Structure 1
Amino acid sequence: MQLFQCQVCSQLLFFENTLCESCGSRLGYDAVTSQLEAVTQTGDVWLPAAGGQTQYRFCDNAEYGACNWLISADSPEGYCAACRHNRTIPALGEGENLPQWQKLEMAKHRLFYQLIKLKLPLPTQAENPEHGLAFDFLADPLVAGAPRVLTGHDDGLITLNLAEADDAAREKLRTQMGEPYRTLLGHFRHEIGHFYWDLLVRDGHRLAQCRAVFGDDSQDYGQALQRHYQDGAPVGWQNDFISHYATSHPWEDFAETWAHYLHIADTLETAKAFGVGIHPMKAKDPDLHADITLNPYGVGPVEGLIDAWLPLTFAVNSLNRSMGVGDLYPFILSPAVIQKMDFIHRLVQGTLPEDQPVTA
């Protein structure tokens, strides 16, 4: 994530800020320019506080403290590019639904920041009723014994259980499932990976290439998951997969690798924004040294991201251990995983050709 600066007083700002802590200016994010704008209200519209003729309105979800994005004042849309994909939100007057939904939206907007940066297609269900992207944010039913809401993806519809926004409940689930990592942002990045598998791989005529890297996805998905939960991951899975769950089925392997690709790109952009350099004093190995200067969303080989990522995670994991907490990034990027990440990198950069047609 990039850093932002108040156009009125030059205070450093962060993506989620709604007010400048220094001068009190109202802030809104313009997804077209990728800028957090200080704005002032004039009648029914908002104008750039530093001057300019652009007229904005806030997304309708700003009313609930769930969004700080701006839209053009003459737009027919009431919602921003992220919020217009919501199909169902929880009943905001019940219990902790409002603050939990606000947490979901914060994570979802970070996701959309990246998807827009990567220039990935974002069709709504109104634009594409069969395969458009939509979100259902649902709370578990209060009726005893009723089935819980399952987080997942189904042909463009991403469902997220509201309980995932409860930090204690999510940590309990993480422990029960033996996961090293479980966050709201991780859920969004994983589930959107399924959506883009459909859109860019299946419908993008790259299925043969994807299967050559991730395996045959035609195997029964339900049986594969059942086998995974019963038997666990194979011995030595770390050599070929980014996570334990990625071993369950090629679709999950793709989604897990996709999520980690977004993790890496976002974190490297943040490191670049802070001018981070890694130069361990007692390490002569050049692989452990890096100045984070690359644009992770620019065109180029995936090795550029990996070469910056490995020393960065070595450093931040060491810092975490100094605080007595777990590693920030407790995963291994094996050569096989890097190959899979290279596929996703070329897929999102638009440099991966379509499958060659089979000739008789």
Structure 2
Amino acid sequence: MRAFACPVCNAFTPFDSDGCAECGTTLGFHLATKSMLPITDGVVALDGRQWVRCTQHETLACNWLAPAEQTAFERGRCLAHSLIRREPDADDTLAREKLVPTAAALRRLVYQLHDIGLPIDPFWRQDGGLAFDLLSSYTTGERVIIGHAGGVITIDLVESLDDYRESLRVRLGEPYRTMLGHFRHEVGHYYQHVLVETGFGAKEYLDECRTLFGDERASYKDAIARHYEFGPPAGWSETFISEYATMHPWEDFAECFAHYLHIADTIDTSREAGMVLHADLVRFAAPRDIVPLESYDDVPIERMLFDWRWMSLFFNRVNTAMGKNPLYPFEIPRAVAGKLSFIHRVIRETAHAT
């Protein structure tokens, strides 16, 4: 993610900030221009339109701007929060409390999807459009299954509880489990459906996708039963990014899609800070200095993965220096690189076409 600055004093401004810590200017994030804008008397005037704070500023700590004139479906919400179809009732205070960090992760997801040029078609604009049901099994006692179906992504707010999420990560043997990771994985299912399996994509990408990831028409129910009874196949790490990816072609695609977003965002954040890894200083066998590119749009995925290999090794060292687990505890074998290359191409071609 890019580094944002106050438009008045140019001080660094965190992505979730609603004001400048240096000069005190009231700020709002404007998605279309990817910038922080000063709010005067509750309004931002830009290109003949007026923008106001998202109505979720107080309840969900949202700092985004929303158009002053909106449809009834948007309800005064920014794009990210207009995608929320269902959420806990107002009197479910504990669940509403956990909705705050979950909504923050959703905003980061929406920003990245917009930044890389993927279409974001809300459910209130078209059938099968993107929607989020952010529900709580913890407070209601009702079963909430994290997943995607027909454009709707369901997230269980209990996953925002660090102790719960970490215990589940350990029990399932996962090296990584975060709320943002859930969003990135599930939105991978959505984009596989709308970009690869239907419409233009079905003709352009579907056969290649099945060659790389497998036939998505295989029984998902049988795949789940097989995975949890027998585990991943022998030698899985040579062709999959994670054990979970081995379960079904849909999960393989979604896992790779999530990793693509992980890698792209971390590289982008590092580049924005001016990070360069000097080969003669980091003590790796890197053949040259690692200088992240402004954009990887027009280069093969191999360049991104080359840079990421050395950057992730360095970040892993930083994490372990603080007694934490490695930042990126994954290996990317050749077969997975091929899958990431496919996703890279689909994203880039989609972005250029819209």
Name the TM-score, length of structure 2 as normaliser: 0.91
Against the structure 1 CA distance between its residues 351 and 285, is the aligned structure 2 distance closer, same or farther, given a 3 Å change threshold? Answer: farther
Q: Is 1:279–2:274 an aligned residue pair? A: no
Alignment-derived partner of residue 63 in structure 2? 68
1:332 aligns to 2:327 (yes or no): no
Per the alignment, in what secondary structure is the counterpart of residue 173 of structure 2? Answer: coil
Q: Kindly indicate whether residue 10 of structure 2 is the aligned counterpart of residue 10 of structure 1.
A: yes
Question: How much has 1:123 moved relative to structure 2?
Answer: 1.6
1:36 partner letter: M
How much identity, in percent, do the aligned residues show? 40
CA–CA distance in 2 between the matches of 1:32 and 1:282?
38
Q: Report what 1:186 is aligned to.
A: 181
Q: 1:245 to 1:288 in 2, by over 3 A?
A: farther
Q: 2:113 — aligned with what?
A: 115
| Structure 2 unmatched runs, 5+ | none
RMSD (Å) for aligned C-alpha atoms: 2.0
Query: Of the candidates 90, 93, 96, which is equivalent to residue 94 of structure 2?
Result: 96
Instruction: Confirm or deny: 8 A CA contact 2:286 2:310 kept in the other structure.
Output: no
Does the Cα contact within 8 Å between 1:287 and 1:311 map onto a contact in 2? Answer: no
Task: Kindly indicate whether residue 346 of structure 2 is the aligned counterpart of residue 347 of structure 1.
Answer: yes
Residue deviations 1:247-290 (CA, integer Å, cap 9, x gap): 00010000000000000111111000111111242647335740
Between 1:58-67 and 1:234-243, the stretch displaced more is 58-67
Q: Deviations over 1:315-357 (max 9, x none)?
A: 01011122221100000011111000000000011179xxxxx
Q: Deviations over 1:7-30 (max 9, x none)?
A: 122211111111211122222111
2:159 matched residue in structure 1: 164
What residue in structure 1 maps to residue 52 of structure 2?
57
Instruction: For 1:188-227, list aligned pairs within 5 A.
Output: 188-203=183-198, 204-205=201-202, 206-227=205-226
Once residues 284 and 230 of structure 2 are traced to their aligned partners in structure 1, the CA distance between those partners, rounded to angstroms, is 43
What are the equivalent positions in structure 2 for 1:237-248 lying under 5 Å apart? 237-248=236-247
CA contact (8 A) 1:288 1:310 kept: no
Task: Give the equivalent residue in structure 2 for 1:290.
Answer: 290
Alpha-carbon distance change, 288 to 188 in structure 1, aligned in 2, over 3 angstroms = farther
Q: Deviations over 1:31-62 (max 9, x none)?
A: 110112232225xx3358xxx97631111211
| SS of equivalent residue, structure 2 residue 36 | strand
Contact 2:122 2:131 in 1 (8 A): yes
Once the 2 structures are TM-superposed, how far is the Cα of residue 91 of structure 1 from its aligned partner?
A: 2.1
Q: Structure 1 regions of 5+ residues with no counterpart?
A: 353-360
Q: Alpha-carbon deviation of 1:96?
A: 2.1
One-letter amino acid of the counterpart of residue 79, structure 1: R
Distance, in Å, in 2 between the alignment partners of 1:55 and 1:124 is: 22
Determine which structure has the larger helix proportion and give its number.
Answer: 2
Which of 125, 129, 132 is the matching residue for 2:129? 132
The one-letter amino acid of 1:117's match is: D
| Corresponding residue for residue 81 of structure 2 | 83
Is the contact between residue 201 and residue 207 of structure 1 (CA under 8 Å) also seen in structure 2?
yes
User: Residue 40 of structure 2: SS of its match in structure 1?
Assistant: strand
Q: Provide closer, same or farther for how the CA distance between residues 73 and 291 of structure 1 changes in structure 2, counting only shifts above 3 A.
A: same
The 1-side partners of 2:306 and 2:145 are apart by 37
CA deviation after TM superposition for structure 1 residue 214, in Å: 0.7
Q: What do residues 117-158 of structure 1 show as CA deviations (whole Å, max 9, x unaligned)?
A: 1221222222222x1111111111657xx5521111111111
Verify the 8 A CA contact 2:137 2:158 in the aligned structure 1: yes
For 1:221, the aligned partner's letter is Y
Alignment-mate amino acid for residue 122 of structure 1 = I
**Separation (CA, whole Å) in 1 of partners of 2:49 and 2:272:** 27
Does the 8 A contact of 1:27 with 1:38 survive in 2? yes
Say if 2:123 and 2:130, in contact at 8 Å, map to a contact too. Answer: yes
1:355 paired residue number: none
After superposition, the C-alpha distances for 1:183-212 in whole angstroms (9 at most, x for unaligned) are 010000000000011101111212211001
Q: Which moved more, 1:201-210 or 1:263-272?
A: 201-210
Q: 1: distance between equivalents of 2:38 and 2:55?
A: 18
